[in-house]
Protein backbone atom coordinates (compact mmCIF):
# COMPACT_ATOMS: atom_id res chain seq x y z
CA UNK A 1 0.00 0.00 0.00
CA UNK A 2 1.28 3.42 -0.93
CA UNK A 3 0.47 7.13 -0.77
CA UNK A 4 0.12 9.29 -3.88
CA UNK A 5 1.88 12.45 -5.06
CA UNK A 6 1.07 14.08 -8.38
CA UNK A 7 4.03 16.28 -9.31
CA UNK A 8 5.36 18.41 -12.16
CA UNK A 9 8.83 19.62 -13.26
CA UNK A 10 10.16 22.75 -11.55
CA UNK A 11 10.48 24.66 -14.86
CA UNK A 12 8.40 27.47 -16.37
CA UNK A 13 6.63 24.95 -18.64
CA UNK A 14 6.30 22.47 -15.80
CA UNK A 15 4.66 24.99 -13.49
CA UNK A 16 1.76 25.39 -15.96
CA UNK A 17 0.83 21.82 -14.99
CA UNK A 18 0.32 22.65 -11.32
CA UNK A 19 -3.47 23.14 -11.65
CA UNK A 20 -3.86 19.88 -13.54
CA UNK A 21 -1.76 18.10 -10.91
CA UNK A 22 -3.99 19.47 -8.16
CA UNK A 23 -7.19 18.54 -10.02
CA UNK A 24 -5.98 15.04 -10.82
CA UNK A 25 -4.94 14.26 -7.28
CA UNK A 26 -8.37 13.79 -5.67
CA UNK A 27 -10.02 11.54 -8.32
CA UNK A 28 -6.82 9.54 -8.78
CA UNK A 29 -6.52 9.06 -5.05
CA UNK A 30 -10.17 7.93 -4.82
CA UNK A 31 -9.84 5.37 -7.61
CA UNK A 32 -6.54 4.05 -6.23
CA UNK A 33 -8.20 3.64 -2.84
CA UNK A 34 -11.04 1.74 -4.43
CA UNK A 35 -8.49 -0.48 -6.17
CA UNK A 36 -6.84 -1.01 -2.72
CA UNK A 37 -3.50 0.32 -3.95
CA UNK A 38 -3.61 3.41 -1.79
CA UNK A 39 -3.73 3.51 2.01
CA UNK A 40 -7.07 4.74 3.40
CA UNK A 41 -5.20 7.49 5.31
CA UNK A 42 -1.95 9.33 4.54
CA UNK A 43 0.98 7.89 6.48
CA UNK A 44 4.39 9.50 6.53
CA UNK A 45 6.35 6.24 6.51
CA UNK A 46 4.58 4.62 3.54
CA UNK A 47 6.13 4.25 0.08
CA UNK A 48 5.13 7.03 -2.31
CA UNK A 49 3.61 6.50 -5.73
CA UNK A 50 4.77 9.46 -7.84
CA UNK A 51 2.97 10.59 -10.96
CA UNK A 52 5.24 13.17 -12.61
CA UNK A 53 3.29 15.05 -15.28
CA UNK A 54 5.29 16.01 -18.36
CA UNK A 55 2.30 17.45 -20.23
CA UNK A 56 -1.49 17.06 -20.24
CA UNK A 57 -1.01 13.72 -21.98
CA UNK A 58 2.24 12.26 -20.71
CA UNK A 59 3.91 11.50 -17.43
CA UNK A 60 6.14 9.14 -15.53
CA UNK A 61 5.00 6.84 -12.76
CA UNK A 62 7.50 5.86 -10.09
CA UNK A 63 7.81 4.52 -6.58
CA UNK A 64 10.03 5.82 -3.79
CA UNK A 65 10.67 4.76 -0.20
CA UNK A 66 10.56 7.11 2.80
CA UNK A 67 14.17 6.48 3.82
CA UNK A 68 15.29 7.62 0.39
CA UNK A 69 12.89 10.37 -0.69
CA UNK A 70 12.00 13.93 0.16
CA UNK A 71 8.99 14.36 2.43
CA UNK A 72 8.27 17.68 0.71
CA UNK A 73 5.87 18.33 -2.14
CA UNK A 74 7.85 18.26 -5.39
CA UNK A 75 10.92 17.90 -3.16
CA UNK A 76 10.91 21.67 -2.63
CA UNK A 77 11.41 23.56 0.61
CA UNK A 78 9.23 26.60 0.06
CA UNK A 79 10.28 29.51 2.24
CA UNK A 80 8.88 33.00 2.44
CA UNK A 81 11.42 35.74 1.76
CA UNK A 82 11.55 37.97 4.85
CA UNK A 83 11.11 41.56 3.61
CA UNK A 84 13.59 42.94 6.15
CA UNK A 85 16.42 40.66 4.90
CA UNK A 86 19.01 42.48 2.78
CA UNK A 87 19.43 39.75 0.12
CA UNK A 88 17.69 36.69 -1.25
CA UNK A 89 20.71 34.57 -0.22
CA UNK A 90 19.15 34.63 3.23
CA UNK A 91 16.90 31.75 2.13
CA UNK A 92 19.95 29.54 1.51
CA UNK A 93 21.04 29.71 5.13
CA UNK A 94 17.49 29.32 6.41
CA UNK A 95 17.04 26.23 4.25
CA UNK A 96 20.41 24.89 5.39
CA UNK A 97 19.39 25.22 9.06
CA UNK A 98 16.08 23.46 8.34
CA UNK A 99 17.83 20.76 6.34
CA UNK A 100 20.81 20.04 8.55
CA UNK A 101 19.80 20.81 12.15
CA UNK A 102 16.98 18.84 13.78
CA UNK A 103 14.29 21.21 15.10
CA UNK A 104 14.52 19.67 18.59
CA UNK A 105 18.14 20.92 18.81
CA UNK A 106 17.53 24.45 17.57
CA UNK A 107 17.46 26.00 21.03
CA UNK A 108 20.87 24.58 21.88
CA UNK A 109 22.58 24.92 18.50
CA UNK A 110 20.84 27.94 16.98
CA UNK A 111 19.78 29.75 20.09
CA UNK A 112 20.30 33.22 21.45
CA UNK A 113 23.63 34.35 22.81
CA UNK A 114 25.82 32.16 20.59
CA UNK A 115 28.68 33.86 18.78
CA UNK A 116 28.93 33.53 15.01
CA UNK A 117 31.30 34.62 12.26
CA UNK A 118 29.98 35.27 8.74
CA UNK A 119 32.74 35.20 6.11
CA UNK A 120 31.77 37.04 2.92
CA UNK A 121 28.80 38.62 4.64
CA UNK A 122 27.82 41.64 2.52
CA UNK A 123 25.07 42.81 2.28
CA UNK A 124 23.90 40.59 5.16
CA UNK A 125 21.39 37.95 4.10
CA UNK A 126 23.14 35.23 6.10
CA UNK A 127 23.94 37.58 8.98
CA UNK A 128 20.21 38.38 9.08
CA UNK A 129 19.43 34.71 9.82
CA UNK A 130 21.95 34.69 12.68
CA UNK A 131 20.80 38.03 14.10
CA UNK A 132 17.18 36.85 13.87
CA UNK A 133 18.16 33.97 16.16
CA UNK A 134 19.65 36.46 18.66
CA UNK A 135 23.28 35.58 17.93
CA UNK A 136 26.19 38.01 18.09
CA UNK A 137 27.80 38.16 14.66
CA UNK A 138 31.21 39.20 13.39
CA UNK A 139 30.61 40.00 9.73
CA UNK A 140 33.66 39.87 7.46
CA UNK A 141 33.53 41.54 4.04
CA UNK A 142 34.98 44.57 2.25
CA UNK A 143 31.46 45.29 1.02
CA UNK A 144 28.91 47.17 3.15
CA UNK A 145 26.44 45.61 5.56
CA UNK A 146 22.78 46.64 5.62
CA UNK A 147 22.23 49.52 8.03
CA UNK A 148 19.22 47.74 9.56
CA UNK A 149 21.53 44.93 10.72
CA UNK A 150 24.16 47.28 12.09
CA UNK A 151 21.48 49.06 14.11
CA UNK A 152 20.58 45.89 15.99
CA UNK A 153 23.86 46.21 17.92
CA UNK A 154 24.45 42.48 17.35
CA UNK A 155 26.81 42.89 14.39
CA UNK A 156 30.49 43.84 14.32
CA UNK A 157 31.59 44.49 10.72
CA UNK A 158 35.26 44.03 9.84
CA UNK A 159 36.56 44.91 6.38
CA UNK A 160 39.32 42.29 6.31
CA UNK A 161 40.18 39.26 4.17
CA UNK A 162 37.95 36.32 5.10
CA UNK A 163 40.81 33.91 4.43
CA UNK A 164 43.08 35.69 6.90
CA UNK A 165 40.64 36.49 9.70
CA UNK A 166 41.22 34.51 12.90
CA UNK A 167 38.95 34.82 15.93
CA UNK A 168 40.69 36.31 18.98
CA UNK A 169 38.86 34.07 21.45
CA UNK A 170 37.66 30.48 21.20
CA UNK A 171 34.06 31.45 21.88
CA UNK A 172 32.66 31.21 18.36
CA UNK A 173 29.98 28.54 17.91
CA UNK A 174 29.13 29.05 14.23
CA UNK A 175 31.21 29.98 11.23
CA UNK A 176 29.24 30.46 8.01
CA UNK A 177 30.87 31.23 4.70
CA UNK A 178 29.40 32.35 1.39
CA UNK A 179 32.57 33.84 -0.14
CA UNK A 180 32.70 33.62 -3.91
CA UNK A 181 36.05 31.85 -4.24
CA UNK A 182 37.52 28.58 -5.47
CA UNK A 183 35.72 25.76 -3.65
CA UNK A 184 39.05 24.10 -2.82
CA UNK A 185 40.21 27.23 -1.04
CA UNK A 186 36.97 27.62 0.91
CA UNK A 187 37.00 23.97 2.06
CA UNK A 188 40.63 24.28 3.15
CA UNK A 189 39.84 27.36 5.20
CA UNK A 190 36.85 25.66 6.80
CA UNK A 191 39.16 22.76 7.66
CA UNK A 192 41.48 25.26 9.39
CA UNK A 193 38.57 26.61 11.44
CA UNK A 194 37.48 23.17 12.58
CA UNK A 195 40.97 21.79 13.24
CA UNK A 196 42.06 24.88 15.19
CA UNK A 197 38.91 24.66 17.31
CA UNK A 198 37.83 28.14 16.18
CA UNK A 199 34.20 26.98 15.82
CA UNK A 200 31.89 24.17 16.81
CA UNK A 201 29.88 24.04 13.59
CA UNK A 202 30.34 25.34 10.06
CA UNK A 203 28.02 25.91 7.13
CA UNK A 204 29.63 26.90 3.85
CA UNK A 205 28.89 27.04 0.17
CA UNK A 206 31.12 25.56 -2.47
CA UNK A 207 30.65 27.53 -5.68
CA UNK A 208 30.76 25.26 -8.71
CA UNK A 209 30.99 27.17 -11.99
CA UNK A 210 33.03 24.32 -13.58
CA UNK A 211 31.75 21.41 -15.69
CA UNK A 212 32.78 18.46 -13.48
CA UNK A 213 30.83 19.54 -10.42
CA UNK A 214 30.18 16.14 -8.88
CA UNK A 215 33.82 15.06 -9.20
CA UNK A 216 35.01 18.41 -7.82
CA UNK A 217 32.77 18.22 -4.73
CA UNK A 218 33.62 14.57 -4.10
CA UNK A 219 37.35 15.23 -4.27
CA UNK A 220 37.29 18.37 -2.15
CA UNK A 221 35.15 16.81 0.57
CA UNK A 222 37.26 13.65 0.65
CA UNK A 223 40.31 15.85 1.26
CA UNK A 224 38.53 17.79 3.99
CA UNK A 225 37.34 14.59 5.69
CA UNK A 226 40.85 13.15 5.57
CA UNK A 227 42.29 16.29 7.17
CA UNK A 228 39.71 16.14 9.96
CA UNK A 229 40.32 12.43 10.53
CA UNK A 230 44.11 13.02 10.63
CA UNK A 231 43.53 15.78 13.20
CA UNK A 232 41.46 13.39 15.35
CA UNK A 233 38.30 15.49 15.03
CA UNK A 234 35.05 13.61 15.60
CA UNK A 235 32.66 15.15 13.13
CA UNK A 236 29.48 14.82 11.10
CA UNK A 237 29.53 16.15 7.53
CA UNK A 238 26.44 16.70 5.40
CA UNK A 239 26.18 18.19 1.93
CA UNK A 240 23.22 19.06 -0.27
CA UNK A 241 22.33 21.00 -3.35
CA UNK A 242 19.59 23.01 -1.67
CA UNK A 243 16.54 24.25 -3.51
CA UNK A 244 17.73 27.84 -3.01
CA UNK A 245 21.29 27.05 -4.12
CA UNK A 246 22.37 27.92 -7.65
CA UNK A 247 25.66 26.65 -9.09
CA UNK A 248 26.82 25.62 -5.65
CA UNK A 249 26.26 23.12 -2.87
CA UNK A 250 25.93 23.74 0.85
CA UNK A 251 28.06 21.83 3.34
CA UNK A 252 27.53 21.43 7.07
CA UNK A 253 30.23 20.15 9.41
CA UNK A 254 29.68 19.68 13.13
CA UNK A 255 32.46 18.96 15.58
CA UNK A 256 30.82 16.28 17.72
CA UNK A 257 33.04 16.87 20.73
CA UNK A 258 31.26 19.68 22.53
CA UNK A 259 33.36 22.61 23.72
CA UNK A 260 30.39 24.69 24.83
C1 LIG B 1 27.49 35.85 -2.48
S2 LIG B 1 28.11 37.23 -1.68
C3 LIG B 1 27.60 36.99 -0.03
C4 LIG B 1 26.16 37.24 0.20
C5 LIG B 1 25.78 37.12 1.66
N6 LIG B 1 25.95 35.77 2.16
C7 LIG B 1 24.36 37.54 1.90
O8 LIG B 1 23.55 36.67 2.26
O9 LIG B 1 24.04 38.72 1.77
C10 LIG B 1 29.81 36.92 -1.59
C11 LIG B 1 30.61 37.92 -0.79
O12 LIG B 1 31.89 37.36 -0.54
C13 LIG B 1 32.76 38.46 -0.41
N14 LIG B 1 34.14 37.98 -0.52
C15 LIG B 1 34.75 37.37 -1.56
N16 LIG B 1 36.04 37.10 -1.24
C17 LIG B 1 36.22 37.54 0.02
C18 LIG B 1 37.32 37.54 0.92
N19 LIG B 1 38.51 37.05 0.56
N20 LIG B 1 37.15 38.06 2.14
C21 LIG B 1 35.96 38.57 2.54
N22 LIG B 1 34.89 38.59 1.73
C23 LIG B 1 35.02 38.09 0.50
C24 LIG B 1 32.34 39.42 -1.50
O25 LIG B 1 32.74 40.73 -1.20
C26 LIG B 1 30.82 39.24 -1.49
O27 LIG B 1 30.19 40.27 -0.75
Q: How confident is the model at residue 252 (pLDDT cuts 50, 70, 90)?
A: very high
Which of 64, 2, 73 is CA-nearest to residue 33? Answer: 2
Fold of 3-75: THUMP fold (3.30.2300)
- The CATH number of the structural domain formed by 90-255 is 3.40.50.150
For the stretch 183-194, pLDDT in tens is 999 999 999 999
Q: What is the mean pLDDT of the chain?
A: 94
* 207 annotated active-site: yes
Asked whether this chain's domains 3-75 and 90-255 adopt the same fold, the reply is: no
pLDDT at 106 (0 to 100)? 97
- Give yes or no for residue 182 CB within 6 A of ligand 1: no
Using the mean position of ligand 1's atoms as its centre, give its distance from the Cα of residue 234 in Å: 29
Ligand 1 centroid distance, CA of 36 (Å):
54
Q: Convert the pLDDT of each residue in 30-83 to its tens digit.
A: 999 888 888 777 677 889 999 999 999 999 999 999 888 888 888 889 999 999
Is residue 139 within 8 Å of residue 147, measured between CB atoms?
A: no
Give the model's pLDDT for residue 43. Answer: 72
Q: Using only C-alpha atoms, what is the Rg of the chain? A: 21
Tell me what pLDDT residue 68 has: 87
Per-residue pLDDT reduced to its tens digit, 97-135: 999 999 999 999 998 899 999 999 999 999 999 999 999
Cβ-count burial of 94 within 10 angstroms (0-12 exposed, 13-18 middle, 19+ buried)?
A: buried
248 lines ligand 1 (CB under 6 A): no
**Model confidence at 1, in pLDDT bands (50, 70, 90)?**
confident
Give the pLDDT of residue 230: 98
Which residue out of 15, 44, 207, 212 is catalytically annotated? 207
Q: What is the pLDDT of residue 73?
A: 81
Secondary structure class of 173 (helix, strand, coil): coil
For 166-209, what is each residue's pLDDT tens digit? 999 999 999 999 999 999 999 999 999 999 999 999 999 999 99
Domain ranges of the chain: 3-75, 90-255
Candidate of 93, 125, 141, 245 to mutate for ligand 1, largest count of ligand atoms within 8 Å of Cβ: 141
Question: What spacing in Å lies between the alpha carbon of 179 and ligand 1's midpoint?
Answer: 4
**Is the CB of 123 inside a 6 Å radius of any atom of ligand 1?**
yes
> What pTM was computed for the model?
0.90
User: Cβ(183) to ligand 1 under 6 A?
Assistant: no
Percent of the chain surpassing pLDDT 70: 99
* Alpha carbon of 246 to ligand 1 centroid (Å): 15
Is the minimum distance from the CB of 140 to ligand 1 under 6 angstroms? yes
- Going by DSSP bridges, is the β-strand pair 201-207/248-255 parallel, antiparallel, or unpaired? antiparallel
CA 169 → CA 191, 196, 243, distances in Å?
A: 18, 12, 35
Amino acid sequence: MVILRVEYPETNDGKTLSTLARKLTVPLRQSLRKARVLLPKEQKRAPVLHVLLLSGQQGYVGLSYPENNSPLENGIMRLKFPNEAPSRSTLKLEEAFLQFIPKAEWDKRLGGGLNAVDLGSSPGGWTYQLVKRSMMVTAIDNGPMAESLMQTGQVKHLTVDGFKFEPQKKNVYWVVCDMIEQPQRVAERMGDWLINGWCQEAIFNLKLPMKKRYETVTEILAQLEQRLVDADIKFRLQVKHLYHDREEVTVHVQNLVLKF
